[in-house]
Structures are given as C-alpha cells and as structure tokens.
Amino acid sequence: MQVKQIKIETLKPFQGNPRTHSPDQIDKIVKSFGEFGWTNPILITKENMVVAGHARLEAAKKAGIKEVPVIVLPFDGEKARAYAIADNKLTLDGDWDFSKLADLLTELDTGDMDLSLTGFDEKELEDIMGWAPDLKDDEKEIDNLKTNNKCPKCGYEW
C-alpha cells in the first residue's frame, strides 16, 4: 500500500457510514492538524469512496486543505463496508490505564504544551490528572480502615 495525495473534491464519503462526528470533534481535529500536521491517511476504495477517515476529511474541508493523503485499499464493496465498521469499533474496544495517563499528562504539563491537543477538554484533564494520584491515596486509606464494625442500633456488621 502506498500513500498518495488526492484532491478533496474527488473523494466520495461512504453514504452508509454509521459513525457520526460532532462539530466539537471536527474542531479538535482541525486544531490537531495545526499542531501535528497530517499524520493518518484517509482510507479509500479504488473508486475514491472513503472507508475510514470521514472526520479527518470533514476537518480538512473546514481547515481549507485542498489535498489529503490517502491509501487505496486492496478491496471494495462488502469488505470495504465491513472494514468501515471495524475501523471504528475496534478503536472503541480499548481502555485507558488512568494512572499511566495521568502520569504522562503530568509530564507534558510544563506550560509549553497545550494539553487540549490530546483531545481531552479542560474538565477531563482535571479529572484525570487529579483522579489517579488521589485513587492511590484512597486505596492506602481503605487498607487502613477497621473491619468487623457493628452498628449499635441495628446490629449490622461490616
């Protein structure tokens, strides 16, 4: 497979694409283009139908980009439509190690880097960066709690 540049107006979005993209997501991708450049080609069929990369395509239009990098897939039709689903779904199956994420975000939080470029908004960043270290402290406190307590009124034990 080879990456090549193609004019945006020649691309045809997959009309049956079940994945949606909010204006906020498109804005974040535009901002990412500004900082990191284009890092992930759009995947298309030989007929120029977009299989994966609809949000990147919308962001490129919004940013005024006229040509984008693409990879022409070696399949089309039913297989391309199934891959359009797989490309989105398989990404969603991942999870975060919030402790490692908090550590990495804390390392990046030097004042030189706009952490919103990571895709997390300010509230999410505060929650993540404050959550993991507090969780470790909470776990220590839980380990030190007394056990075998009994309610003097009802006798419930915990």
Cβ atoms of 103 and 76 closer than 8 Å: no
Evaluate the CA torsion angle 66, 3, 29, 112 in order and state its sign: negative
| Cα–Cα distance, 130 to 134 (Å, whole number) | 6
User: Quick one: pLDDT at residue 108?
Assistant: 94
Note the pLDDT tens digit of each residue in 87-126: 989 988 899 999 999 999 999 998 888 999 999 999 999 9
What mean pLDDT is reported for the chain?
A: 88
pLDDT of residue 111: 86
Full-model pTM = 0.76
Query: 116-153: buried (b, 16+ CB within 10 Å) or exposed (e) per residue?
Result: eebebeeeebeebbeebeeeeeeeeeeeeeeeeeeeee
For the chain, domains (ranges, CATH) are 3-92 (3.90.1530.10), 98-143 (no CATH)
pLDDT (average), residues 121-144: 67
pLDDT greater than 50 at residue 132: no
Q: Above 80 in pLDDT, residue 25?
A: yes
Query: Tens digits of per-residue pLDDT, 49-92?
Result: 999 999 999 999 999 999 999 999 999 999 999 999 999 899 88
Q: What is the pLDDT of residue 117?
A: 94
